[in-house]
Homo-oligomer: A and B are copies of this chain.
Amino acid sequence: MPKPIEFWFDFSSPYGYLASHRIGDIAARFGREVLWRPFLIGAVMQRTGSRPLVERNLIGAYAAHDFERFARLLGVPFRLPDPFPVSSVAASRAFYWQEARDPAAAPALARALYAAYFVDGRDISQTSVVVDVAAGGTTTRAEVEAGIQDQAIKDRLREVTDGAAERGIFGSPFVIVDGEAFWGCDRLPQVERWLETGGW
């Protein structure tokens, strides 16, 4: 079995959201699975000394324009939410709670959380919004709420985020193919080429 493609992202990252629409198809073309790995980019940015693009002079205006232009090019629905960016703690905890409970359902939850924020403009930093998205079917709101507050899940997210920084993962999206790291939605064509050729 080939190794899964690691897909690292932050739930408040527009480029991570855009890439989330492509990564599954890319992996499937090459018979790969995707390992979805949300992490807290804010915690890693403290180590790299970076700030969110939109908060930076000159770069912020460009980035806001580029998010929308890139989304149109990919044919992905997108609206820059307000507030933006937001904390991705609650959404990330919900993901790891779902993964611990039913790994196969976790990617769909990730996509639903991204859509809630970047399509519907719902503030996924709010636990109540995350619970709205994650509950349903046989899953009760109380179960999701308890999961987000579970100390083991909190620890899990902290470990994942610390582990990302220790492996040099600092951006969103950050894709790892057979140990080779690619930062940015604009690197997905290189990811595809790496998968086709095994490297260059």
Contact = CB atoms under 8 A, between A and B. Distances in A.
Interface in A156-189: 165, 168-171, 181, 183-184, 186-187, 189
Identical chains in the assembly: 2
Interface stretch (A17-25, A52-60, A84-92, A112-120): A52-60
A198 interface: no
Interface of A: 44, 47-51, 56-59, 61-62, 65-66, 69-70, 72-73, 165, 168-171, 181, 183-184, 186-187, 189-190, 193, 200
14 contacts: A48-B57, A49-B51, A49-B56, A49-B57, A50-B56, A50-B59, A58-B168, A62-B168, A62-B183, A69-B190, A73-B193, A184-B186, A186-B187, A189-B189
A44 B50 CA distance: 17
Given A73-B190, A190-B73, A193-B73, A58 B183 contact: no
Contact of A58 (B47, B57, B58, B200): B47
Identify the 7 closest CB pairs spanning chains A and B, nearest first.
A186-B186, A58-B170, A48-B58, A48-B57, A58-B168, A48-B56, A48-B59
Contacts of A168: 58, 61-62
A66 B170 CA distance: 14
A169 B49 CA distance: 22
Contacts of A66: 183
Given A49-B51, A66-B183, 16 more contacts: A47-B58, A48-B58, A49-B56, A50-B56, A58-B169, A59-B170, A62-B168, A62-B170, A62-B181, A62-B183, A69-B190, A70-B190, A72-B200, A186-B186, A186-B187, A189-B189
Contacts of A56: 48-50
A181 B200 CA distance: 30
